[in-house]
Structure formats: structure tokens, C-alpha cells
Structure 1
Amino acid sequence: MFKKFTVLSLLGFSLFSCEKKPELLTDEQYSQLTDEQKRSSEHAIDGIVIGDERLELTLFASEPMMSNPTNMDIDDRGRIWIAEAYNYRTALNPRNPTRAEGDRILIMEDTDGDGVADESKVFYQGNDINAALGIAVFGDKVYVSVSPYVYVFTDADGDDVPEKKEILFMGVGGVQHDHGMHSFTFGPDGKLYFNYGNAGEGLHHADGTPILDPLGRPVNNKTQPYKEGMVFRMNPDGSDVEVLGWNFRNNYEVATDSYGRMWQSDNDDDGNRSTRINYVMDYGNYGFKDEFTGADWRARRINMEDSVYQQHWHLNDPGVVPNLLQTYAGSPTGILVYEGKLLPEEYQNQVIHSDAGPNIVRAYPTVPSGAGFNAKIINLLDGNPRDNWFRPSDVTVAPDGSLFISDWYDPGVGGHAMGDQDKGRVYRLAPKGVDYKVSKPDYTSISSLINLLQSPNRATHFKAFMALVEKGDEAKDALEKLFTAGESRMRARAFWVLTKLSNGNDYIKTASTDTDENIRVAAIRAYRNNKMSDVSFLLQMAGDQSAQVRREVALAIRYKSSPEVWLKLVDGYENGDRWYLEALGIAAEGFWDDYLPKYLEASGSGWMENQVAKDIVWRSRASNTSELLGKIILTQPGRNNQAYYRALDFQSPASKHITLKSLLANAPEEDQLIILRQINFDQASPDRDILALAKQTAGSIADDRDFLDVVSKYGLTDQKVRLEKLIYQSDNNQHSQMAANSFASLYGMNDIKKAFADSDQAKAILSMEKFGTIDNEDMAKLLAEVYTDESKSLETRTAAMEAAKGFNSEPYLMELAKADKIPADMLPIAQKILLSSWNGNIRSEANEKFGSATAKQYDIAKLVAASGSIENGKTIASNYCVSCHKIGNEGIDFGPGLTEIGDKLSKEGLFNAVINPSEGMGFGYETQLVKMKDGTEFTCIVNSKTENDLVVKLVGSSEQKVYKLVDVESVTQLDESLMPKFPLSETELVDLVSYLETLRK
């Protein structure tokens, strides 16, 4: 049953009035406010810095009218629709109260014209929409995205009470997850666009059947090439669903412009400063995971990029579409293309975006560059200098062209936690002195509809578009007038409606000859939408002077064999235009064996002297591409070949192996290491030639990591001296640990045991510190022999005891503790290790044995008010945090990076993240329990799951470990974080957070 809406009282909301707004507080005045005053809605505007002095920010709505807005839309009457998330991630936030009736969809309205909402209606409330991530209003339909479903509510009589609720899609992964299904938006072509993040997994119709691509393949993360986050579009009735892009991490929303182009933000693996903005080129792979193997971006590979952000998105790999812009640290949320006239000119026709992580709203002025674009950044709103609880969750344009911003308002963002359930705001940004006025739209007359079609508000645009299509040829003259004489983007809007009329294809032909390249771009996109099949038309457009237009032609022949069109498009490619090259690759998918030979034949025998031809081969996926790559490699020296060696990874494994093996005899000596790293090798059935080369080469490998990889891969036992040197003398702790593990694997434990017994105490202690990083039961037993031997010195036993930690070592330590076999003088160290274990079972047993050191309740308010020692905090971080987190160049890349955590979380958020780690697990870092068919089990982070392999990271290690899926019984996600609740005193907690606060960009 649907509940009748209620009108919420605004008692206590008298701070808003028609009186003149007071001046914003100065920095000095703001600093004198108490924390309680800063968090109040009275000072909400004071906490946000406006980047343009011509603009004014006003508070449209706040608590108690609403709370926790995840997403927002504005209807054609100027009313604000909000999806609330009071019941956000309740399973992981057991300390938070819940709203038994479920979360709400609210409609907020300013009925008295003072620019402040004075009425709030509950459109719908229920536990079925808890923590919905998307709300979109199109006519009498309201789309609510809440994984695993997308619901469509119908309010046919317009009384703000839905008559029915239907399931549009189901089976979307990420129940109550930030990386699940996101909001819908209206495109100028009459279609709805939407996306989901990398928890989405797949898309299914309401009857459970999967969405299929044009080749009949189900669109889910188990089907090549689809993986991770994806972008889709469909007709408003849910038909003709298309997948348009994939391999994003958490592409929070998709925005379209009037030419039909798509724009998105995407979030990185938390803490890696790799958040990005994308122009979404249709059918593109966007590089979050390895296209073939699904490997995590950290996995070592040939031609690995120089910077983390380039590595993160595999930007050196053939088949990855470039990024438009790098925005570094962030937690991006809402995005739109502003096509209004109210804001100043530099924001018009530009992407505007909210990023809750750095507390900011930005614009990204963009200009064409070849087949792609370049962009810069303009800050509109910034909460970080004053109020880092400002968490903009969405941006939306009202019918008058003003910009509305919803604010989740919380000490933290991202992960699965929230620190404040009661607050939430909505702001309006507009030029100073411009009041919020919305007139009732008239959808009856054609002249009014033409004006409404040009509205910057998507809900208005939608209704006008549909009404004009319904009027058909009756509206033709007025539409043609706008198409002929209007501003470029409004011309495009008229064009899209004209393509829906009885002679729509004629307008596509007309638009294809327009002097405006953007109109010609729209023409090619409309050609696809109208499912035209005129090859002569595409052949003509393939010679267009604009690379932007030719890009669209390439996308138009995806799934269609069109060698003549493709070959003509190649003629327009210029070396260095990666967007264009990727468009050619997208077009050729499935037809490389036809296209590539024709191209090389036309290029002549000297094609290897032509960089354009080598680019095409590098990007190709033909059956003979491996052979061609091998020929290129033999013609040029050393490092210049790394890109071509990497391209071999995207060919069939058999052809890649044949090429690499053939190169052994002819490639330059400097390439031999690359081949050794890249070629497949089975120690159980070794290739003698390759093994001989590995033995011959290993000693001369200069790079320590390369050396360790080769020694481990080929099981070389003649490099003992260098391994020992790396163990004891390397400045790189990761290399030292890898060397220790290789040493134990190759030579066993006897030499290590002798080192522990060295008569030189300093050497013995050093060996325990270095080899103690080996995390297995054999090492645990070897260390126990030392710390339980009371005849040895206290210093030696202490070193052994302190080295006895580790996920796989601690079960043996726990056995000794339960059997009371740990000497009394070593017991305090053992207790500290076991009570702060990353193994939840060990922690539970230790709490039962010793009494819980983590059960105390901390007074967060008291902790926040206290000041700590940054230096002491840095020491505590070195003792606890860097065992699994990177802080600058220190630490292990296992959990989310902490290098800029002070920018992402407020002080309250930092305390909560340390005290209650399970409430704020970053996506991709959840605890996974893996059970093997041989009966063993372990907890880990799963980096990827391919058709054949499970790739994981074990606790305390940045290295990936690969398990064959045939050996895996099950993988289950646990609610408890791998990060333990460390047994820290209040003073230690304050010191640690004082240090973490300093970790900023």
C-alpha cells in the first residue's frame, strides 16, 4: 500500500525569513564559533567559500525538514526531490538508530516565493528504498535507483501520491552500496542514460532475464569485455537497453550534453589520488582493471606507467580510452552539463561536478583536441577551508537556470560509514540579487513548447521533447526555425526532435552537411539511434574534416563489417591522437582479421617505417598481430619496445608465447629481461631454453625488483648471496620482505635458524627482524623456540616475540597463549599482538583469554576536543598503520592509502574510522573469506576474479597472490573489517588522529 503524503512542519526553522541576508562571517569571526555553532544550519553558508564573487549561495532547505540527501532532482515546477538515506548501511552501523518506516523520497517546495522551502511532502517511504542512490523525475514517472532494483513510480494524476510501483531492472549488485546503481538522466535524443559502479555486476530485466548486447552476450562482469562499472541508455519505456562503456570503478553519475555526448566522474581505489573526469566515448574500455586478466592496477606489467594515476587506469595499455582530466584525491558524486544562461558565461555549456571528498563543487571548461578534449578546473564552492563536513552529494539545474546543490553533511564520506544522521542541506547558487522564480510551464502551445525545449532543467526538457514528438509534423515548422536560427546547442535539441518525425532521416542527412562540427557529431549519433544502414553516407562522413565527426563515424560501425569506411577513417588518423586510435580500435573489434591485412597491404612493404602503421598494429587484435609486433620489436632498440611487448599481453596466449620464444634468439640483449618477465613458464615442466637464459641473466639484473621476480618465477637457487644482501641491506622494506620469502622458499629454514642463533647478539636480532617478516607457521615455530628459551638474553627474546606477528603466524602464537606456554615476561607483547590481530577469530579468542582491551566506549566528543602530539601520533602510525597502509613512501599498499586522509575525513570521521573500522570499509577493501576445496581457508582482499583465477592480497602484503578458481570452494564477504580495533588508550588515539589530520595534499 502507498502511504498518503504528509506535510512536515518547519518548527524551529525560523532562521530563514524574507529579511536581508546578513554578511558572511570573516575568517576570524568564523574561527571564534564553537563547533556546535559551525555545524548549525544558521552558519551553513558561512562554512562554504564561494569561488566567484559574482555569485551568491543561499540555503534552500535544511534539517529538520530533511536529512542525509544522497541524490536530488528538480521537476519542471522548480520543486526539489530528495532521496534520503537515514537507514544507510544499517548492518554496518549498528550504533546508529534506524527509521522503522524506511527511508523517504521527499518533495520540497518554496510556496511563498522567499527562496526558502516551506513545505515538504513524503512522496514515498519504505524499507525497500533504504539508501537509494538515484532519484529522477520524468513526467509522471519517478525513477528510484536502489540496488538490486530500479523502481519506477507512476503518479498519473499529479497528486504527489504514486498509484503504482514497478520494477524496471533487478539483479544489480551492491545492495545498499555506494558503488551500485546510480541516477538516471534524460538525453537530448529522447533516451534515458544511467550507470552503475563496480558493485553492479550485471543488469537484468524485471523478469530476471539478462540484458544482452548486439552479439547476444549477457551484459555482466563475467562476460568479456564487460567488467566493473558500466554506462547504459534505453528508451523511456525500458526497451532497447544498450551498454555504452565499461571498466570504471565508481562512475557515480552520467551527464549528457545537447549533442548526445556523455561525461562522467570516476572514483579511484581510496587514497590513491587518481580520481578522474571522463568524456565517455561509446563502447570504450576505461581501464580500471586489466582488460584480459582482470588484474588489479598494482600488478607489475611491462611498460607500466610512471605515475600512480596513470597506472591506476592502465593508460599505457592498448584498448584503454584516455582520461579527460585528473582531479586526484576525491569522492565524486553528482555531475551535469550546464546549458543555462543564468550563471556567468565561463560556466555555460560546461561540465559542473560535486566532489564530496574534498568538499568542493567545480566546473570543467572543456575544448576539443583532435578526437578528444582538454579541460581545466574552476572551483565554484569549497568547504574545506572552513567546514569539511560540507559533503555535496549532487548538483542539479532548476528551471530558472540556477544551480542547486544537495549536501550529505557528515564528518566522513565514502566507505560505508556516516557520523551524523540528522543533518542535510540543499543550497541554491545564482548571481547576486537574482531571486528564485519559477513560472508554471505551458505544454499546450507549440511556441511555448519550443521555449521549454531549451530549458536547462532536464525534467522540463523531457516533457517538452515528448510533447513535441507527440505533436509530430504539426511542430515541424517551429522546430525547423529553431534548428536553422538558434544557438548551437538549442539547434541540436530541435534537431533531435526532428529526427523523430516521419521524415526524420532526411534531417540527419541535412545535419551531416552543417557548418557546425557539433551538429555533424549529433547527425552521426542520430544515424545510430535511428538504426540507419546507409554505408555510402558513412563513407562520405569518414572523410569529414573534423576528427570529432570521424570519431563518431568509427563508433557507428561498431558491430558492422565496413572495411571501406574503416580504411578511410584510418587515413584521417594522426600519430598522438589516442582518442582517435581507440575509436578505430572500437570500430574494428571483431573484424581485425579483415581490416588489418587490407590496411597493411595498402601501406606497402615499408609500413614499419611509418609510426601511424605501427600505432595501428599496436592497437590491433588480429590473429597475426603477435607476429607483427615481433617484427616491430626487432627493428628498434630497448626501452622503445616496451609498449609493443605490453601489446603482446592482449593477443592470444599461444601466439604471444611463440613470438616471445622466437625473439629470444634475435632480440637485443637488453630485451631478454623483458622476455623473461613476460613469457609463460611452468616450473613443473620447464622450458630448458628459457630456464637457461634465466640462470644466465639473473646475476646481471640491475633492478632489485626485476631480480626478485626472475629468481622467484624460475626458482633459481644460485643467487643466495644477493638475496641475503637484499634481506639485510635493502632500504626498501618490500624488497627485503620479498627476498626473505624467496630465501625461505628456495633454501628452507635451516640457514635462518642458524642466523637466529648467531653468537653476535646484534646480528641475531637483525636476522629476526628481517626474516621475521615471513608470515607462516614454520617461522612462527622458529621464533617461538627463541622467545620461550629463557636462557637467551631478554633483548634477543624480545626481538623474537615482537617478530611473531602476522596473519598466518598468530594462530600458533594463540595456541601457545591458550596453553599458557608464553613466558610471563613475554606475555605483554604477545597480548598486544593477539588483541590487535587482523584475524577476527584470533581477536575473539584473545579477548576471551585476556579480557577485551577494545570493549571500552570512547567519548568521541571528548576526544575531538582534545589536542595531541603529532610526533607521538606519527610513531603510533608507524607501529600500527603502515603495516597495511601507505603513508607517503612508507608502509604496505594493502588497505586504502592514508597519504591525504586528512583531506577526506574530518576529525570526527578519523576517530570513528580508527575506533569502528567495520563501519567505514572502502569498497574493494572488504573482508573476503576464501574457502579452498582442500579444506583450508583464509581472509583477504579480493582484487579480481576472472574466468580462471582468483587474485587476492593477503593481510600485510601489497603483493597479489593468484589461486586457480577450480581449487576454490567459495568466496564470502564478511561484515567485519580486516582492520582490528587497536587497543589504544585515549591519549594514543588523540595523538594518532592529530597526526592523521596533518596528512593533506
Structure 2
Amino acid sequence: MTKCPNFLVVLALAAPFLLMSAAPDKPAAKGKKDKGPFVAGKPAFTPDLTAPAFDPAKVQPDHLEPSMFKVPEGLEITVWATSPQLFNPANMDIDHAGRVWVTEGVNYRRHSGRSREGDCIRVLQDTDGDGKCDRSHIFVQEKELECPLGVAVFDNVIFVSNAPNIIKYTDVNRDLKFDPAVDKREIFLSGFEQPQHDHSLHSVYAGPDGRLYFSNGNCGAQFSDKSGTTFRIGGAYLNNTYTGQKSDDGHVYVGGFTASIDDEGHNARILGFNYRNSFEGVRTSYGDMFLNDNDDPPACRVSHLIEGGSFGFFSADGKRQWRADKRPGQSIPTAEWRQEDPGIIPAGDVYGGGAPTGMCFYENGALGPKWSGLLLSCETGRNVVFGYLPKPHGAGFKLERFDFCTTNTSGVFKGSDFVGGANNLSDERQTLFRPSDVCVGPDGAVYISDWFDKRTGGHQDTDETCSGTIYRIAPKGFKPKVPTLNLDTQEGQIAALQSPATNVRHVAFARLKAAGQAAMPAVQHLRENADPYFAARAVWLLAQMGEQGLISTRSWLESDDATKRLVALRAIRAATPDVIDILSSLAADLSPMVRSEVAVALRDVPAAQSVPLLVKLSHHIDGGDRSLLEAWGIGCTGKEEAVWTALKPIGAWNDDFAHITWRLHPAAAVPELQKRAADSKLSPEQRRLALETLVFIPQAEAAKAVLALAKDTGSPIHTDIMWWLIKRSTDEWSTFGIAEELKKAGIFDPDSAKLVTIITPDGPPSSVKLEDVLKLQGNAKNGQQLVTRCVMCHQVNGQGVEFGPNLEGWGRSQPGEIIAQALIDPSKDIAHGYDGQEIVTKDGVTIHGMVLTEGDIMIVRSMGGQNQYVARSRIKSRRKLTHSMMLNATQLGLTAQDVADVVSYLRSGK
């Protein structure tokens, strides 16, 4: 720390590591400038037509040999297709004839214009049945297509997700080639922000209810379905003008989301929201929904989606990033997914850094019954396709992860944001596997598309050959056979409903439903099938085949099997809105999953009908099953006050009722919550829960109650009270006069609060050279002592502050070269989310830091983890820093040997 006239320069002892966003938020490639946010419908980048056009004949494509992959015992992986049969596969689907449809990304981001005629939707075929593609052709190529992130095929109807549109092609003459003179092309939906952005529109896929599903990242969307219902879903990522506005269904949605819609584009619904960027999800034949989502720092997840639920990436109004609301002591995964806030569903399996993409759910097929119920999730950042066999747990699921298919078992990853920034590229072949999608084919095998690149994330691709491969996983000695399905016959349709391929089943569903009574016996027969997935598919369909089908479906509500009751309830809900009698009969069901479904079904039911049922459901709720509590809370949406008022006369203030009140956080509870927070007879934990209920009530009465609590300076939760008061005075309670009251009490006045200059110097380049470090043998014991210099900005072994990422275990997944480079030249890769700004106030204070929240009061976090609350009215200027806020090795006083020692220690993971 050096004192200079009129300001303070903090030379924080901080390790120069900046954790990158694991989602594909990429800085500009060398030599090209990222134009930043742009308007929906306009090109992301101006094509560089001076660069050579991509010529497949002039490249030498590459792929990884099957021997490099590890798959479960008894299974084998083979190459099904590879370049030049396809290039840069971004997404794929497999139709009823076993043809693989691929969206290509030759023009991905800064390579816009590399393919002069636009990107392709390509069709790959195995015409001789030998298990390898032998024919490849283009279905459609258009200049508008710029790395479409989704393709879905339903017989001769093809949906392509290419922001701002979902494009619907109908191959009228079924020749597998789009001819505008013969075939049809229409915009199915439009209004999805940011073409050529990975946080935008993703693939369409089918559900068991006959509806189409898709997801969108947190770029935002303002779209209308063909019924005229408009959805406005924005967030703090691009600060969309409609952020926080209600959609026409009466709800506020923010961030990334999952939606469903019927085949004709009517009756859209939002099923989950407030994601960062979920590439894909699945809905199983039981109706369970799963999705993946990538992180900001390392907190990628695979999750069970509760209908109507929020995952909490932004604040409830969508206007604040999670860092702005991170509480003291919270871990990054807890803060990023707001797991300690009411109204947020459980995050599921949070596994750290990565860049997840496609998903699928295996129910039946060539892999055999051992793998029935297998959830697969592609993880490009970790060179793996994760596997899960979800197990019911309360109203949710246990998601225990394992590597289903990987080239990299070392735990050392390269070429991904979370391991060193945009310039971190793979140089080892086992790290080149970038699985972009996974599907189950109609032959029952699993197919994986490989983007193949030295880099994933950061909107970058570095492979100038645009190589890509599709691998097939099947039992050893597998001889592929794609069933011949005549979709024009009832027999073929029933067979297709049993297909391992999700979108093939959808075609059968639609045609059998259209056949009506004539198809009823065949569907009834399938309902009795011993395979529970086949039977469930039939039940979903029966519910939509008229009164007789509904009666047949209702019989499952009486089953001793909870899964059958759950499927029947979901199927009936999808078929008719008239379900209140069924919800009433199941409100005391023994299964928490059934009760959870009852709860979410009550969200839009008027209070007069729903409140008595929600009160009945509450009798089975405790704080231990967060999934059930949140599902019930979703059912209470818009009726929180009425439900709590009805509960209060019969509810004792025990821990269960306290958690129910926390979830509802009704204004009516303010007086009693204030008493509980002040009650010295209660434990600090009970008092803190009352406080944390109060602070989520967006009413002036709650603010005044917390102000009153602040007068007791001896309270064991006084520090929490003060943190919340200052925090809330900058956001939800900013109009309640809290700032004025804090000012009167001499606690906090943002207009006159003392601000401290904190400058991160852009010092001279480090004198330590990477090549010198790499020649040295590191001493981990000495490195353990040296790494304590990092505690001003990082947590290490339980010590330090939260500014940069927690270094605990970080180095185990990093190559030594990457760690050393980060220490030597931290400005080489400045991470998304960790870039700094310089703020200069009108009275001459200069602050370097990360801006956590915008608004009248800006929260700025600087070196040492120090937060300062800066009134916007006091700011003279602000600019983005061009250098890292971390000090290099020389500034930290480290020699080449010291750097080698720190690297050795961090890689040891101790």
C-alpha cells in the first residue's frame, strides 16, 4: 500500500487468475473487432469477404480415432460420419428413416461470410446399412443461415432455430432438398434476440404431450405466438427494454427460458425461466423435465425443471446480475443460482466450469434395459458426455454424474473459458473432443456430434478445416437396423410411437390423435405394454382422444404405482383445463411428486378454488424438501397473501411454518416476523430466517421493520441487518426512504459517503518468462507459502476474500503452462464478468473495480474484495479498463522459481 497526494493506491497481493465464463461469451478474435450487442434480425458481424471463402476441397479434415474414447463396458464407439461429409456440426436430429440432419456452423461468429452462400442444413445417410454414412447432401443453404443452433425433423417438416426466427420448412415432394418453387418455407416464430449468439435461440424438440419445446438463452426475447399472446423475457445481460415487464399470461419472466407450443404455433407457455443459457432440455415419457445450463464462473449444472420455476440467475425483476446480490460468505454456486432465496428451485448437479450443449434421454433401444432412463448431457469444455440415471428423491431427483463418453479422463482441461481465458487453446488431442449434440436414433444407438476444435466458449472457433464427426455408441458387434416405418398406416404409427427417437414418436402421436376413435383400440393395447415408457406414451395420447380416452387415462389415477398416477395427472392436464376435481382428489396423495404436480397446476387457478387446496397441500410441507416447497410456492403465485392468511389461524410458529412463511414472504406477516427477528428466546438461525423473510417483502412496512431491528446493536444478527438495509436501499427498497433514514441515523449516505480511491496499476510487463518457468521443477511446499500473497483477492484454504475465484482445487484441472501464464501476464486473457472499469467521481476519487449493479446507486467491487456504493450523480466519467485488475508475477515479487513453486502447489490440489 503506497500513499500518494489526495488518493490511495492499493497494490493488492492478488493471484492473476481471472475465471472465464464457461458459456460461449467470447472476446474478439485477433484482428477483428467484436461489434457487441446488436438488434434482433440484424447480422452479428459484417462478413469479411476479403478473407478466402471456405473450400471443402482444399482442407484436410481431422477427427479423433475411436480408440481414444472411453465408454461403458460392453459398448463401443465407431465413426458414423466425418468431414468432408459434414462440417462444424452445431446441432443434429435423426428422422424415422435413420437419416441424420445436421446444422453447420462454417460461418460461426467472426467467421461470418466464410461460406459465401450461408450455412447448410445437411442430410447424412447410411444407404447400405453397414453402420457408416455413405451419402451426404445439402437440404438447404441460405445466406440468412448463420450457424443455426437447432434442427428438428418431423417426417417432412423441418424446424431450424436461427435467431431471430424459428424457420419451418415443409419438404412437400419429399426429395430431401428444399426447392422454393415446390416446397414451403415460413417463419414459425420470431423475436428472439441476437443472431449469431450462443445465448439466443436453441433447438426445437418434442414432448410426450404432442407439443413442441425449445429454449432460449439470456439474450432475451419478445415474441408472439399465433394466438396473439406476447411474451417479454429480458434481463441484465443485454438490458433489454422490456426487462421486468409482464407477459400477456400475467407473469414476469426473465433470463433464459424453456417454452412449449403446439404444432401450429398456438398456445405458447413458459415452463421455466431465469437461466443463463440452457442449450437444450428433454421431457421424458413420464413428463419429467431436465435441462443443462452454463455458468458465469464455474457453476455449470444439470437440473430437474419444476414447471413454472425460476433458477435465479438474475434478480426477480431481471435487472441485476447475481454478483450484485451475492451475500457475505456465500459460495459462488449458491450465489449464482440464488439457492438461499425464496422462489428459486434447486440447481441440481452443479459441477463447476464447462460449456454444456445438447441433451437427450434414452428410454429404449439397442443399449438394452440396463440403460433405460439414461440422461445424457454434452459438455464441450470437459471433452465428455455426462451420464445420469435420475432417481426420485422427494419431489425432485438425485442426479449422480458419471462419464458416459470421454476422450479425457485426466481431469486436466484446455481450450475452455474456465481454464484460462480466450487465448487458451488445446494442444493435446484428447482435449479436442467438443460434443455439440447427442441423440438416440431409431435404430436404438446413441449418436454424438463432435465440433472438434482447440477452443470452446468465448464465441470462438479456431479450426480452419471446420472438421466435424458423428460417432455412434452401441453394443459391441452391433448390426444397425432402422425399422421400416410406414407412417401412413396405423401399424406404422404404433410402431413409431415405440421408437427410441423422440421426434419420431411425435409424428406418430399427431397422426394417431388425428385418427381419433379408429386408433383407440391400438393405443389402448399399447397402454398395457410391459415397458413402462411405452405405456406412458399411450396414456398421454389417450387423454387427447376424446371422452373415452380421458376415462381410460383417469383409471391410472387409482393405481398403486405413484408414477402412473403422476403420468395420468400430467396427461389429463395437457388435454383439458378442467382438472380441479382431480387436483382436489390428489392434494393428499402419498407421493410428493404427485403433490408437487398438483401444486404447480394451481398457479393460474383463481384463489377461490385454489387457496383451500394449497392450504391442504401445505400440511405435507417441511423445510427439508426444497423441491416440494418451491413447487407449492409456484402454485401460490399471486395468492401468497390469501394463502398465508388462511394458514395463519391453524399454523403454529414452528420451523415448518417459518419456512412456509419465508417462501410466501407476505406483507401480512411483517409484524410477526419483526417480533421473531427481535426475540432473544429464539436461536440466531431462527431470527435470521425471520430477517431473510422480511427483506424479500417488497413493501415499505418490511423496510421499516428492519430499520427498527437495526436499533438493537447487540443483536446476534445485527451485522446481517445492516448488510441487508444498505443492500436493499440500493434496489427493491430504494423508494421507501431507507436511504434517508440511514442517513439520519448516520449509518449510510451514498451522496456524501466517503469513497476511497483504489487503483490497480497497469505496471510494466513481468520480467519472468514463461519458457524459463517451464524449465524449472516446482516445490509445492514452498508454493503453499507463496500462494498466501493471493489472499487479498482470492480464497485459499479457507482464508482470503472474495474478489477473484476461489483457488481451492482450481489448479488440479489446469495445465501448468496455463497457471504460469496467468501469473506472468494476467492481462492476456481478461475474463467475461471480471473485466474492470475505471470510475472517476466529481470530487476526484478514482475507483478501479467490477461494477456489480447499475442504477442510481452502483455497487463497485475492487481489489481486496472491498465494495463501494457509488451514487450515479457523483460520477464524472467511467471507462472500461484495458488491463487486468490482477498483478503480474513481478509486481507480486515472484521469481521464475516462485512461479514454478506456486504452479506445483496449485496443481497438487492440496
- If the length of structure 2 is used for normalisation, what is the TM-score? 0.77
Aligned counterparts of 2:684 and 2:846: Cα–Cα separation in 1? 44
Letter in 1 for 2:83: E
Pair 1:510-2:555 in alignment: yes
Judged with a 3 Å threshold, the aligned counterparts in structure 2 of structure 1 residues 369 and 667 are, in CA distance, closer, same or farther, namely farther
Cα shift at 1:588: 0.8
Secondary structure, counterpart of 2:675 in structure 1: helix
Secondary structure, counterpart of 1:361 in structure 2: strand
The counterpart of 1:242, out of the listed 269, 275, 287, is 269
1:366-385 CA distances to partner (integer Å, 9 max, x unpaired)? 22122112121232112213
**1:202-241 correspondence to structure 2 within 5 Å:** 202-204=222-224, 210-211=230-231, 221-223=243-245, 225-241=252-268
Letter in 1 for 2:454: P
Judged with a 3 Å threshold, the aligned counterparts in structure 2 of structure 1 residues 651 and 121 are, in CA distance, closer, same or farther, namely same
The counterpart of 1:555, out of the listed 600, 603, 606, is 600
Aligned counterparts of 1:172 and 1:182: Cα–Cα separation in 2? 10
The counterpart of 2:154, out of the listed 138, 143, 149, is 138
Cα shift at 1:308: 3.1
Aligned counterparts of 1:591 and 1:999: Cα–Cα separation in 2? 52
**1:843-882 correspondence to structure 2 within 5 Å:** 868-869=775-776
Letter in 1 for 2:648: L
| 8 Å Cα contact 1:320/1:582 also seen in 2 | yes
| 8 Å Cα contact 1:892/1:956 also seen in 2 | no
Judged with a 3 Å threshold, the aligned counterparts in structure 2 of structure 1 residues 315 and 581 are, in CA distance, closer, same or farther, namely same
Judged with a 3 Å threshold, the aligned counterparts in structure 2 of structure 1 residues 206 and 63 are, in CA distance, closer, same or farther, namely farther
Aligned counterparts of 2:880 and 2:264: Cα–Cα separation in 1? 35
Pair 1:405-2:467 in alignment: no
More helix by share: 1
Letter in 2 for 1:600: K
The counterpart of 1:492, out of the listed 495, 511, 536, is 536
What stretches of structure 1 of length at least 5 have no aligned partner? 1-7, 14-38, 695-709, 717-741, 746-773, 777-804, 811-828, 837-857
Q: What is the alpha-carbon root mean square deviation over aligned residues?
A: 4.6
| 8 Å Cα contact 1:201/1:228 also seen in 2 | no
Pair 1:259-2:286 in alignment: yes
**Which structure is richer in relative contact order (CA contacts within 8 A, separation 6 or more)?**
2
Match of 1:429 in 2: 473
Aligned counterparts of 2:142 and 2:888: Cα–Cα separation in 1? 37
Aligned counterparts of 1:206 and 1:923: Cα–Cα separation in 2? 37
Match of 1:631 in 2: 675
- If the length of structure 1 is used for normalisation, what is the TM-score? 0.70
Match of 1:332 in 2: 356
The counterpart of 1:470, out of the listed 514, 522, 535, is 514
Match of 1:179 in 2: 199
Letter in 1 for 2:476: K
Judged with a 3 Å threshold, the aligned counterparts in structure 2 of structure 1 residues 913 and 505 are, in CA distance, closer, same or farther, namely farther
Secondary structure, counterpart of 1:182 in structure 2: strand
The counterpart of 1:524, out of the listed 553, 569, 590, is 569
After superposing the two structures, state which structure 1 stretch, 904-913 or 176-185, moved more.
904-913
The counterpart of 1:314, out of the listed 308, 331, 338, is 338
The counterpart of 1:587, out of the listed 635, 655, 659, is 635
Secondary structure, counterpart of 2:273 in structure 1: strand
Secondary structure, counterpart of 1:481 in structure 2: helix
Judged with a 3 Å threshold, the aligned counterparts in structure 2 of structure 1 residues 53 and 249 are, in CA distance, closer, same or farther, namely same
After superposing the two structures, state which structure 1 stretch, 77-86 or 639-648, moved more.
639-648
Secondary structure, counterpart of 2:231 in structure 1: coil
After superposing the two structures, state which structure 1 stretch, 586-595 or 184-193, moved more.
586-595
| 8 Å Cα contact 1:942/1:950 also seen in 2 | no
| 8 Å Cα contact 2:706/2:725 also seen in 1 | yes
Cα shift at 1:679: 2.4
Match of 2:616 in 1: 568
Match of 2:417 in 1: none
Cα shift at 1:79: 1.3
Secondary structure, counterpart of 1:660 in structure 2: helix
Cα shift at 1:658: 2.1
Pair 1:451-2:495 in alignment: yes
1:213-251 CA distances to partner (integer Å, 9 max, x unpaired)? 9xxxx9964336422111111112211111111111121
| 8 Å Cα contact 2:622/2:659 also seen in 1 | no
Secondary structure, counterpart of 2:287 in structure 1: coil
The counterpart of 2:309, out of the listed 277, 284, 288, is 284
1:667-695 CA distances to partner (integer Å, 9 max, x unpaired)? 9622333222222568984458854xx6x
Match of 2:32 in 1: none
Cα shift at 1:395: 0.9
**1:937-948 correspondence to structure 2 within 5 Å:** 943=852
Aligned counterparts of 2:313 and 2:363: Cα–Cα separation in 1? 30
**1:741-890 correspondence to structure 2 within 5 Å:** 745=756, 774-775=757-758, 805-806=760-761, 832=765, 868-869=775-776
Secondary structure, counterpart of 1:539 in structure 2: helix
Match of 1:415 in 2: 458
The counterpart of 2:578, out of the listed 533, 555, 564, is 533
**1:335-346 correspondence to structure 2 within 5 Å:** 335-346=359-370
Aligned counterparts of 1:977 and 1:617: Cα–Cα separation in 2? 47
Letter in 1 for 2:478: V
Match of 1:19 in 2: none
Cα shift at 1:526: 2.8
Aligned counterparts of 1:972 and 1:168: Cα–Cα separation in 2? 41
Aligned counterparts of 2:518 and 2:771: Cα–Cα separation in 1? 66
Match of 2:74 in 1: 54
* Equivalent residues, number: 798
Cα shift at 1:654: 0.9
Judged with a 3 Å threshold, the aligned counterparts in structure 2 of structure 1 residues 496 and 662 are, in CA distance, closer, same or farther, namely same
Cα shift at 1:582: 0.9
Judged with a 3 Å threshold, the aligned counterparts in structure 2 of structure 1 residues 918 and 427 are, in CA distance, closer, same or farther, namely farther
Cα shift at 1:434: 0.7
Aligned counterparts of 1:426 and 1:949: Cα–Cα separation in 2? 52
1:840-864 CA distances to partner (integer Å, 9 max, x unpaired)? xxxxxxxxxxxxxxxxxx9xxxx99
| 8 Å Cα contact 2:166/2:188 also seen in 1 | yes
| 8 Å Cα contact 2:214/2:258 also seen in 1 | yes
| 8 Å Cα contact 2:824/2:889 also seen in 1 | no
Aligned counterparts of 1:992 and 1:159: Cα–Cα separation in 2? 62
Cα shift at 1:632: 3.0
After superposing the two structures, state which structure 1 stretch, 357-366 or 340-349, moved more.
340-349
The counterpart of 1:354, out of the listed 353, 378, 384, is 378
What stretches of structure 2 of length at least 5 have no aligned partner? 1-54, 234-239, 247-251, 411-429, 730-736
Match of 1:675 in 2: 721
Aligned counterparts of 2:849 and 2:571: Cα–Cα separation in 1? 48
The counterpart of 1:578, out of the listed 626, 633, 641, is 626
| 8 Å Cα contact 1:234/1:241 also seen in 2 | yes
Aligned counterparts of 1:531 and 1:929: Cα–Cα separation in 2? 57
1:314-373 CA distances to partner (integer Å, 9 max, x unpaired)? 212111111232323322111121111322434211211111111111221122122112
Aligned counterparts of 2:880 and 2:151: Cα–Cα separation in 1? 28
1:423-467 CA distances to partner (integer Å, 9 max, x unpaired)? 221110111111222132122332332221011102311111111
Match of 2:46 in 1: none
| 8 Å Cα contact 1:617/1:628 also seen in 2 | no
Cα shift at 1:286: 1.1
Letter in 2 for 1:395: V
Letter in 2 for 1:557: L
Judged with a 3 Å threshold, the aligned counterparts in structure 2 of structure 1 residues 963 and 668 are, in CA distance, closer, same or farther, namely closer
